[in-house]
Structure 1
Amino acid sequence: MFLCLKDKSSANVSILIVNWSCGGTQAILALDRVLCCDQISNKDREDGNKCQGSYVPHHSTAGTVCCSRFHGSPGEHCCGTELYQPHREICCSGHRYSKVENVHCCGVQAYNIKDRQKKCCAGRLHILTDQSAREAQCCGSLLQKPSDVCCTSDDGEVLYSPKPGFRCCGHFYVNTSLWSCCEGRLSPLHKPQQLHNKMTEESRLVSLNNLDEDNLCGEMHAGIVNSVSLHSIVFSSVVKLHGRNATMKHLPSTYILKKPDCCNFPYLIPGKTYFFNQFFVSIDFNHDSILESFYFIISKCFPSQVSSN
């Protein structure tokens, strides 16, 4: 409940009074003197105080607070508890590194995205051997061995040891004599000899990070799933992307992707964004936004700039 009162002793001066809660405590307080930071009430604060770095109140002209640690330099940027210079450094989950060409974050570490001996798997950086560099694949944050099986769905990636008669259904690895799979959904087989949809092949949902260079850097599309039918998928807000040329072009209308087999195709969720062409449908587990995904593709594929000096 808000109430604006006029102070009779001072003409045209009003004080905002509010019945509010800060950290579960009800109080009637003059808001121009109280600052609630992270559910902690701080009384008798000066005008201009604000919350920064959790519950620490301070005046922005006095310094910079980074995760509750005060620095006497106002107007700076934070990386964890420390200050950092964005024009000279990058910040990877609270850790500072020098900014050099093609450097990207992988969790708390920085790496050259064009270094073929390094692979980032869901925020975990792996150093590869010469033998594994070309065929290295991620499964979640783990590096997959050639003999391993990685089952993928929108919920994530799960690594399995191979078993005869088993196959992926979404992120599950199931016995095909007991289960039928259609679009990543499991159904029990009631009779051992029951005929069911072919489970010898599956069009899996592919992690963007596991696409080979031809598919990652060639022409692909990115779009939001509008609707799914037995034989096609309708995408909207579709962008045609070519990583090697660093070009993007929006398509003026919806895009319809034909499904060669309604069951041997990954389950796609309406409203989510996917990357696709005629051969694969992919999702990015390494980045939180479509803009980060675009930046990853172009950084990985576009030729490095060669200095003329």
Structure 2
Amino acid sequence: MYLTTTHICCGGNKMLELKKNLSCCGGNSFNKTFQYCCLTNNNVEVRLKNQPCHSPPPTEAGPSEYVNCSGVLYRRGSGLNQCCGKDVYSLTDDNVLCCNGILYRNVPEQSECVGGVIYTQNQIKMLTCGSEVYDHKKQLCCSGHLYNKIKAECCGNLLLKYNNNQICCSSSTHAMIYDTKQEHLCCGHYYYNTSLWSCCAEHLKPTPKTDSYPPEYRLKPLTDLIPDICHKTVLFGKVESVVLRQKWRDIVLRVIVAVSELSQGTLLHVSLDHCSSPALENSMTYLWEENNRKYKPLSIPVDVTSDIHMFFTACDLNLMQALKRSVNTCSHMRHIHGVFSMQVHF
């Protein structure tokens, strides 16, 4: 799956970033400034503009005359014609859907293409695991395979079975399963001996401390949190800045979209216990839970387009209603402990 506004698909299997003067010629790309696409004996190949193109005469897929669909040339005919792999279709065609470079016809109305799979209206609230559609309330997807949600959970791409004397230790980049041991705790994706090491914000230190506290929880992929998180007050927030203040980690959090009365763009000042909280990265967006104006991150970094849409769809929430609250002229800075309140005007 790719966005036609940012990428181009050549030959049905090569996806390239869409750049000025870049076009497809069969399974290859070419720069229209100094190259052209030559059709010879029903084959296409890239030639320099000073190179001849033999029988039939040189044919360049110009924007006004032809449309080049993965090496197959079509008369443009209408400005509404679009490529889908090697096929062409019009935006005015009914019951037609381009999904992952394949053109489907006679599809039900309001169908969507997600991850290369077509969903009808009744399936839109379902998720995909590999090429299969599954009910996230009963099953979980680990590394492209489906499992019973009651008996296990995902640990990254691994499967952690319950009641198996094992533990999952994970960070935003790795996840590991260990056999449980006494006097051992997780520190990010490490499982360490507390008599030899201490942990602070998912980093190990060779200085054991008797007063150190283990991490309260681990960040999980967004799909692992659904549906349990659907009925809680949550928001998607981007970490704008982080400052350490003794044992506290002060974070300026910008609300992207919230399942609450918070508007998009609102700035929150969140204070977390530094050592016992997961490590967070600047400029990354996480799912946060709000409880009595206290916030904590729940997910690993999310994609602000696909993940947010998937969350609102799977949880049967109204994304457009949440976005309408974003139409304002200012953002508010709030301290979660109520120490200060100020307005920042844009």
Structure 1 residues 1-309: aligned runs within 5 Å = 29=34, 34-35=36-37, 41=46, 44-47=59-62, 48-53=65-70, 58-61=74-77, 66-67=84-85, 70-71=86-87, 77-80=97-100, 82-84=102-104, 85=107, 87=109, 89-111=111-133, 113=135, 116-121=137-142, 124-128=144-148, 132-133=149-150, 136-146=152-162, 147=164, 148-189=166-207, 194-195=208-209, 198-211=212-225, 213=227, 215-230=229-244, 231-239=248-256, 241-242=258-259, 249-250=262-263, 253-259=266-272, 261-277=273-289, 278=294, 280-284=296-300, 289-302=303-316
* Residue 3 (structure 1) aligns with: none
* Residue 5 (structure 1) aligns with: none
- Does the aligned pair in 2 maintain the 1:167–1:176 contact within 8 Å? yes
Q: Secondary structure at the match of 2:122?
A: coil
* AA matched with 2:116: G
Deviations 1:115-161 (A, max 9, x none): 52222346x25142xxx43x642222333212432222221433333
* AA matched with 1:234: I
Could you list the runs of 5+ residues in structure 1 that have no partner in the other structure? Answer: 1-17, 305-309
Counterpart-to-counterpart distance in 2, 1:279 and 1:249: 13
- How much has 1:225 moved relative to structure 2? 0.9
Q: Which runs of 4+ in 1 moved over 6 A?
A: 22-28
- Does the aligned pair in 2 maintain the 1:220–1:240 contact within 8 Å? no
Q: Pick closer, same or farther for the CA change 1:44–1:112 going to 2, 3 Å.
A: same
- How much has 1:95 moved relative to structure 2? 4.1
Counterpart-to-counterpart distance in 1, 2:197 and 2:32: 60
Of all paired residues, the percent bearing the same amino acid is: 23
Counterpart-to-counterpart distance in 1, 2:110 and 2:32: 46
Could you list the runs of 5+ residues in structure 2 that have no partner in the other structure? Answer: 1-20, 39-44, 48-57, 319-346
- How much has 1:254 moved relative to structure 2? 1.9
Deviations 1:57-114 (A, max 9, x none): 55455987644xx34655564324531247364434434454424443424434354x
Q: Secondary structure at the match of 2:276?
A: coil
Q: Secondary structure at the match of 2:181?
A: coil
- For normalisation by structure 1, the TM-score amounts to 0.65
- Does the aligned pair in 2 maintain the 1:152–1:158 contact within 8 Å? yes
Q: Secondary structure at the match of 1:209?
A: helix
* AA matched with 2:249: S
Q: Pick closer, same or farther for the CA change 1:52–1:172 going to 2, 3 Å.
A: farther
Q: Secondary structure at the match of 2:98?
A: strand
User: Between Structure 1 and Structure 2, how many residues are aligned?
Assistant: 259
Counterpart-to-counterpart distance in 2, 1:58 and 1:166: 65
- For normalisation by structure 2, the TM-score amounts to 0.59
* AA matched with 1:282: L
Q: Secondary structure at the match of 2:298?
A: strand
Q: Pick closer, same or farther for the CA change 1:46–1:167 going to 2, 3 Å.
A: same
Q: Secondary structure at the match of 1:205?
A: coil
- How much has 1:24 moved relative to structure 2? 11
Q: Secondary structure at the match of 1:290?
A: coil
- How much has 1:267 moved relative to structure 2? 0.8
Counterpart-to-counterpart distance in 2, 1:187 and 1:119: 35
Deviations 1:247-289 (A, max 9, x none): 6641664211221x3211111111101122346412257xx62
Q: Secondary structure at the match of 1:173?
A: strand
Q: Secondary structure at the match of 2:126?
A: strand
Larger mean Cα displacement after TM superposition, 84-93 or 166-175: 84-93
Q: Pick closer, same or farther for the CA change 1:79–1:214 going to 2, 3 Å.
A: closer
Supply the RMSD in Å over aligned alpha carbons.
Answer: 4.1
Deviations 1:15-69 (A, max 9, x none): xxx9xxx98999995x6xx249xxx61552253334444x5555455987644xx
